[in-house]
Structure 1
Amino acid sequence: MVEKGYQPDLVTYNIILNGLSKIGDSDRALRFLRLMEERGFKPNAVTYGIVIDCLCKNGLLKQALHLFSELKVKGNRPNIVIYNCLIHGMSHLGQQKEARKLLNEMIDSNISLNVITYNILIDAYCKESMISEAIDTVQTMRK
């Protein structure tokens, strides 16, 4: 692309990151994120969200949380997609307490839960045999 005179922009980099994420190549996605930064591109919440999602889907929650912290330190505001990815990743690994903390952080940041967030919570409660919590969550969602 560069040889043909096209200068990639943030959207182009995000598309490539998304492709790496879809094939589950979290190592290359992280390296590509760093390459973007080396080339002077500032990742935004969408960029971080793509990589965080890939890491969570590959069970690399510690790395995802590190990137989440980095996102905030660099002045980006996490969005609902990022919170949902992390909450889902935590729930999938049985880390309900940590997921609840992150959910509270999301609410404190004035980010409203969406149907995806509620579905993640309901699924996690059911898998942990916490049926009354699942029912309470459904009732809260309906309100």
Structure 2
Amino acid sequence: MLDNTARQLDMMQPEPTPAAPKVAPTPQQAPQAAPKHVPFSPLERLATVALGLIMVGFCLFYLTGQMTLANMDRSYQQVQRNITTSKQDIADAKQNIGELSNSNRLTSYAKAHGFTVIEGNIKRAVNK
């Protein structure tokens, strides 16, 4: 019969006599082994240090990437702001050209200074 060796078999105990009081068996507890500190082997130490260095390197790489991305985003926004400002300046210049080349303005300027306006001699500015 194959049984667990941790169990105690009570096959061979004699029957208790009627005169003897019944005593409840007390379970026996195995003594608790004190936890022992297992030292790290040199390979485990090397692996722990290597993993730590890899994690620090990854964190530095991630932070560097985040800072680079933030700087590029800031540069992109600055370029967009410059483009918007340039477009506004171009629109203002076109409006000034339109106002300055108005035929009524030229006619009134010529009359005010004693000139005569010859329409064939007036050159128009072309916006490209």
With the shorter chain as reference, the TM-score category is under 0.3
Which protein has the bigger helix share?
1
What's the TM-score once normalised by structure 2's chain length? 0.22
What's the TM-score once normalised by structure 1's chain length? 0.20
Larger Cα-atom Rg: 2
Higher RCO structure (Cα 8 Å, ≥6 apart)? 1
